[in-house]
Amino acid sequence: MISDTINQEMKKAMLAKDQAQLRGLRAIKAALLLAKTEKGSSEEITEETELKILQKLIKQRRESADIYKSQNREDLYQVEEEEIAVINQFLPQQLGREEVASIIEDVIKQSGATSVKDMGKVMGLANKALAGKADGKLIAEIVKEKLA
């Protein structure tokens, strides 16, 4: 589980006085703790849920980084980029566009989808097949291309 690894990495970062690493790890730990204590959640969160949480953290930081970049706030942009790098350490290797397109083609064949009207069905299957391995925005973009 990712949460066990986070605690070990936090100790290492504290000893090394690595503030960027520590900041990113604390953000992950806080998000995982929040998910565990949410109303209606079970005691343990699955690895799949952990991956979704990490992807959400990266998405939030990318959006913030884009805003900071557009406002010429290089100092804040750098902080977000450092945290993205830390969070990425705990995600599986992201697939390239060609690999994602290949998997989506297989999903389309299996689902029998023929037009953009079937996009919802294909997206559900594609998101399951590519959980944690590709960005949702990229998946949606490729599905739309393939079904058009």
All structural domains of the chain, each given as residue ranges with its CATH number in brackets, are 2-88 (1.10.1510.10), 97-147 (1.10.10.410)
- The kind and range of the H/E element at 42 are none
**pLDDT computed for residue 43 by the predictor:** 65
Q: Positive or negative CA dihedral for 95, 101, 104, 109?
A: negative
- What is the rounded distance in angstroms from the CA atom of residue 78 to the CA atom of residue 20? 10
Residues of the chain with pLDDT under 70: 39-43
**pLDDT computed for residue 19 by the predictor:** 92
